[in-house]
Every structure is written in structure tokens, then in C-alpha cells.
Amino acid sequence: MLVSGEGTNLQALLDEALPVVAVASNKPGARALERARAAGVPTAVFELADYPDRAARDTAMADWLEERGVRLVVLAGYMHLLTPPFLARFPDAVVNVHPSLLPAFPGAHAIEEQLAAGVAESGATVHLVDEGIDSGPVLAQERVPVLPGDTAETLHERIKAVEHRLLPKVVRELCAR
Ligand code: GRF
């Protein structure tokens, strides 16, 4: 799994005993790394500043994942775009979870943008990753209501509760293929 933040989706997969064999992050301080360590899963940090460019960083990260026998890469709150050389190493085997009903509201500010747009409905989407921003084929999607008085925090929490069911379900199916 690739993570940059809290790691609640990582935790959902760990709690369901899915075979998480490696967790990598671009951020050394990510809470998600602590969750992985607590579960005894190998972790590594690949900071952009330590490499000449993004492709070099992604190649090092792909090497590390491959060495650990990774067959499916799950992005859970990973906040960097992956370069084509990385995606080529795991064809049709990189998935992401996103807090909107894609293709609506891609990008890093989906929650704030949905609130600003005044949508009545949001959702969670699990999709295959391609070279675009949250643009690959949708694998699973579930609607979540936006309620009067919602803040970014309350809406995001409601969406995350759905993500924590949807992502493990899709990962389980992909692991079985
Ligand atoms: C999730 O809402 C996910 O959809 C988005 O980033 C958030 C990650 O949360 N891409 P966490 O780190 O799994 O708690």
C-alpha cells in the first residue's frame, strides 16, 4: 500500500486480515506508517527530495515493492501522482480510493469543492489508476448524502466510513483473481 496521511484505509485492510505485505510513503511522519509498523508490516519512505526526479523515486519504490512480492498496489491517501514507469511495472494492478463520485470532483480538494458546489450527494469511489488525476476505470462506487451544516470534517468522516467497507471488499476481490 502507498500512503501519505492518517492511514485509516490501511487500518481497514489490516483489520480484515488482507495480505498487506509492504507499506511505502512519500512522507516520513505519516501516521499510516505507525499503523503498519504496529501490525508488523515492512515500511519504507521514498521522499521526492532524495531522488533526482519523480521517475527515479518511483523506480526505487517499485523495486522495493516488487522485492516484497507485491502483486496489487493500493493507494490509500497517497498524495503524489505515479509516473508511467511505475504504472508499467504493475499493469492493471494499481487501485485508488477517492472521496467523491468520480468522474465528478477529481483531485486533492474534492471534499471542499463538493461543499462549495453545494452538491446534495457525494460518495466514495475505488478505481484503477492510470496516468491521469483520479481518472482510471471505476471498480466500485457508493453514494453518501451531504447533510445541512456539514463541514469538510463531518462530510469526510461520513465518506471514510464507506471507504473502509468498499476498499477492503474490492481488494479482496482483486486478490482472488
Ligand atoms: C481518503 O478519504 C481517500 O479517499 C483519500 O484520502 C483519504 C485517506 O485517508 N484519497 P486515510 O489516510 O486512509 O485515513
Is residue 177's pLDDT more than 90?
no
Q: Which helix (H) or strand (E) holds 145?
A: strand 138-145
Distances (CA, A) of 162 to 37, 61, 74, 76, 124: 25, 29, 17, 13, 7
Domains along the chain with CATH numbers: 1-91 (3.40.50.170), 97-128+139-177 (3.40.50.170)
Q: Which one of the listed residues 98, 127, 156, 164 is annotated catalytic?
A: 98
6 lines ligand 1 (CB under 6 A): yes
Q: What is the pTM of this model?
A: 0.96
Q: Given this model, what pLDDT does residue 94 score?
A: 98
> 142: CA distance to ligand 1 center in Å?
15
Q: How far apart are CA 106 and CA 135, in angstroms?
A: 8
Q: pLDDT over 70 for what percent of the chain? A: 100
123 lines ligand 1 (CB under 6 A): no
Predicted confidence band at 114 (pLDDT cuts at 50, 70, 90)? very high
Q: How far apart are CA 125 and CA 31, in angstroms?
A: 23
> 77: CA distance to ligand 1 center in Å?
4
Q: pLDDT over 90 for what percent of the chain? A: 99
